[in-house]
Chains A and B, each alone.
Chain A
Amino acid sequence: MDSALIWEMVIKSLVLILALLTGFAYLTYYERRGLARIQSRVGPNRAGPAGLLQPIADAVKLIFKEEFTPGQAYKVIFILAPIITVIPAILITATVPWGGTVTIGGREVMLGIADINIGVLYIMSVASIAVYGVVLAGWASNNKYAMMGGLRSTAQMISYELALGLSFVGVILLANSMRMTEIVEAQRGLWFAFLQPVGAVVFFFATLAELNRGPFDMPEAEQELSAGYNVEYSGMKFALFFMAEYTKMVSISAIIATLFWGGYRGPFIDTMPGLGPLYMFIKIFFILFMMIWVRASWPRIRYDRLMDLGWKILLPLSLSLVFINATGILLNQMWLIPLLSIGAGFLAIQAINLSLRRKENAR
């Protein structure tokens, strides 16, 4: 390994982390403005032109806020918990390819940190670590709301990891690889979102649950648990939780784009590989808008209903999608996959509707 390679890695990581951190800050601005538009309001528009300096003002405020630690809290874990949450959120993007290979100063540079052959597994395992932060924060705060928030998040994680993992399996089958770049290249002809539309939808909802975002924001649940697991956190510790959530939103959007929406691929990408990050940016932008839109429009699902949905509907559905993918590949009849999976999705919707029927004085 020559020193240039190390420098390349360091610079790439630095650029990515900085991009993620600014991305996080401006995602909060994007979300607030987007929500405001949906709710017929204006949103933040005071700090700087069109409110563009609002994230900086927020950051300054959070940095100078008092750091309060509750008296009976388990101090070490209390401080460690936000860190455990935020680090996986940044690490998760390491395997996401941001473009093809470009030549900078006579050197071939791959746009992306690491292209390991188990990229998908890496994402799965790193993403799950974050829940420890949430649970430990809930436990260490010595607060009943926080405890309940933490417990909710474990239960939620267990029920959604399965659907999430099985959606990954579907993609792995279609791409015949676990390497992220190969998954992107496999979508050269048709994006997997069109080949496996229901899989894309299931994956989207499972990631919403993973992100603790509405309608699955049970661990926070402002209306029920005040703020859930982070109720005792203030100042920068709270900001870290906030940062973890929004950084993870960006990372997960990048993963969704890579797995289902053709990754960095777009028109003229083969002649101009430098366009890759731009295409990624556009796709992430739209996926983030979907997340904001969902948050603005839907009420929160109740905790036990969410488990029902995860175990009784999403798990069988994603299992059947894996089966459908395998069948289509085995018979070499790719057109079967979208057809059958839409059928399966339709059945799942019927099952949801059935569970909503009014039962006689149901409790």
Chain B
Amino acid sequence: MTESDFATRLNDRFPEGVTADEREGYQGYIIAADKLIEFATALRDEFEFDYLSSVTGVDYPDEGKLEAVYHAYKTIGGAELVFKVQTDRENPEIPSLIDIYPGADFQEREAWDLLGIKFTGHPDLRRILLWEGFEGHPLRKDWQEAYYEADKKPFKSRWPKAEYTRAEAKNPYGANVKYPDKFDPEKWVPEGEDALYGSLAKYETTDKDGLKTDHLTVNLGPQHPSTHGVFRIAATLDGEKIMNLNPVMGYLHRNHEKIGERNTYLQNMPFTDRLDYLSSLSNNFGYAIAVEKLIGIEVPERAEYIRVIMAELTRVQNHLFAIGMFLNDIGAFFTPSLYAIEERELVLDVFEMVTGSRMMCNYLRFGGLARDLPDGSLQKIRDLVFDRLPRKTDEMDRFLSENEILRSRTVGQGYLSTEDAIKYSAAGPVLRASGVPYDIRRADPYSIYDRFKFDVAVRYNGDIYDRYYIRLDEIRESIKILQQAVEQIPEGEIQTGKPRYQMKVPKGESYGRVEGPKGELGFYLVSDGTGNPYRYHVRAPSFINLTAFGPMCKGLKVADVVAVLGSIDIVLGETDR
């Protein structure tokens, strides 16, 4: 079905309420708010767009409008479908899609939290990243932070006539925080907690002798050894059994997206490193693709190869770390993780050699790379991908995969069915371990991935064991890609045109997505033609994969919660942004 076929079909099905988005540089469709439910149902059931990838919003104060932006896919592959719903800025109400795509749950809460779009029909529309004492919705254009200087970077000189004032002097301590109406932080009892616990099902039974059994509410985190950062799990227990579970996040929230809007396009490149700090090169890749789509520049051949090599090495080291830490979570006393970290360090050595940094690589540029591969680095990569990494992957497989305790902890536990995985918009290894062979490198190839021979790793049991094992599979597939890329890499330029600090970015929107190690990493950019992005949204896989976390854990034991969380593999820098 071609693009225009689809448009005609859509037009026939919805003669009213669905119009193509014809603003300059924009794509997709604008849906009338009252048609949204009908449209989404038809989209899922008739047009086979069964996977709602991202939900976000954009604020257009000049037009007095707030716009919710949705990206949907077919899990059989193909390009995305963008559709938008516009609503009044003063009283923004949009019907919630949670019944049609349950994966919209956290994302709608995030859009409510940061933009103030009210999703009617959402059962639990609370703030998700910010706290209850927060005034306003920070991603709205008229919201200003406490130490506000200017809308856009680079800021004007801070002391133009050598008169130096600190931003703190303008906003003294005590006056730098705004609270909502009638909110007194001194007297505040976290009523949000009540709402949180209220959202967990109440559990109280009386047995035949009249003995009452109550549930036990336990908070795992924010300070907990196995939450991989400051992450909190509020759980209701019956003995050791999980009755209900809700993830609570936002402890590491820094409003990445607002800062991203203040930054210039290039300044965001190192900033993406800080999202998922284990796989910074993948983050760079996604952002570079989004901006390049906007500008419309090509990337030289050699640069594409180096990008692929770096992205795949990132995947290898991320998965090694994930496996090691997962084993740690189920109680192996650091031995597997240290063995995995040993290999990861070798990959990081390559990163350091090539990019100058081990973790915050900041290596990609729009239309190319920051610098070429230094002498000897290719040989180092060769040694790794032809000898050391395959050997060590097999070794880890041999040591771990058949271990009785590991199997007894993981096989059949934390089950996520294929339908649920799609429904909850799970991405990456979590989706593929549930039997959906969806890998963006194959489904909607970007860069030069269509040239390489590799298989999409997929496993069908959807349990923790498969989510563990699929990471080993993916390491092996990545090594295959790496071996081909290292052999084929041509000589040549690494940058289209001159490297520049400030890019001319035409008006429009773009969505760049890559298959990051943790799943689909997408960057949604809106440009108004200036040097800074008008809207910069990150579709964070760690965040959205957590939607399926609660359902996966129901009925398991406390010990399994940690294992399930480890098998999802989250990084809080990305979850909380």
Contacts and interface: CB of A to CB of B under 8 A. Distances in A.
Interface string B329-345: 11111110011001000
Interface string A27-68: 000000001001111000000000000000000000000000
B555 A223 contact: no
B146 interface: no
Given A299-B409, A300-B405, A361-B412, A214 B557 contact: no
B411 A299 contact: no
A22 interface: no
Contacts of B224: 226
Interface residues of B, number: 39
Q: Of A39, A222, A302, which is in contact with the most chain B CB atoms at under 10 Å from its CB? A: A302
B415 A361 contact: yes
Given A299-B330, A304-B557, A226 B225 contact: yes
A304 B327 contact: no
B559 A298 contact: no
Nearest to B560: A302
A224 B557 CA distance: 10
A37 to B, nearest CB: 11
B216 interface: yes
B145 interface: no
Given A40-B338, A40-B342, A356-B408, A298 B403 contact: yes
Nearest to A297: B335
Interface in B402-423: 403-409, 411-413, 415, 417
Contacts of B407: 356
Contacts of B378: none
B421 to A, nearest CB: 13
B226 A356 contact: no
A39 B338 contact: yes
B495 interface: no
Interface in A270-326: 295-305
Interface in B219-272: 224-226, 240
Contacts of B405: 215, 298-301
B332 A356 contact: no
Contacts of B558: 148, 224-225
A39 B406 CA distance: 19
A221 B333 contact: no
B216 A221 contact: no
Contacts, number: 104
A76 B183 CA distance: 42
B333 A296 contact: yes
Residue among A148, A224, A297, A301 with most chain B CB within 10 A: A224
B333 A35 contact: yes
B291 interface: no
Most chain B beta-carbon neighbours within 10 Å: one of A222, A298, A299: A299
B329 A362 contact: no
Q: Range of interface residues on chain A? A: 35 or more
- Residue of B226, B415, B556, B559 most packed against chain A (CB within 10 A): B559
Given A40-B339, A215-B405, A300-B405, A363 B412 contact: yes
A300 B412 contact: no
Given A224-B226, A299-B327, A362 B409 contact: no
B406 A300 contact: no
A327 interface: no
B218 interface: yes
B289 interface: no
A362 B555 CA distance: 11
Interface in A240-261: none
Nearest to A358: B411
A352 B407 CA distance: 11
Given A352-B404, A362-B412, A300 B339 contact: no
B338 A41 contact: yes
Contacts of A152: 240
A359 interface: yes
Nearest to A298: B405
A357 to B, nearest CB: 8
B562 interface: yes
A152 B327 CA distance: 22
B461 interface: yes
A75 interface: no
Given A39-B334, A295-B333, A300-B559, A356 B411 contact: yes
A319 to B, nearest CB: 22
Contacts of B96: none
A237 B556 CA distance: 34
15 contacts: A39-B338, A217-B331, A221-B559, A223-B330, A224-B331, A224-B559, A224-B562, A295-B333, A296-B333, A299-B405, A299-B406, A301-B409, A305-B409, A362-B411, A363-B555
Interface of B: 216, 218, 224-226, 240, 327-335, 338-339, 342, 403-409, 411-413, 415, 417, 461, 555-562
Given A39-B335, A299-B406, A362-B415, 17 more contacts: A38-B335, A145-B218, A217-B331, A221-B559, A223-B226, A224-B558, A296-B333, A297-B332, A298-B332, A299-B331, A299-B409, A302-B559, A303-B240, A303-B557, A304-B240, A362-B413, A363-B556
**CB-CB nearest 4 A-B residue pairs:** A300-B331, A362-B412, A299-B332, A223-B226
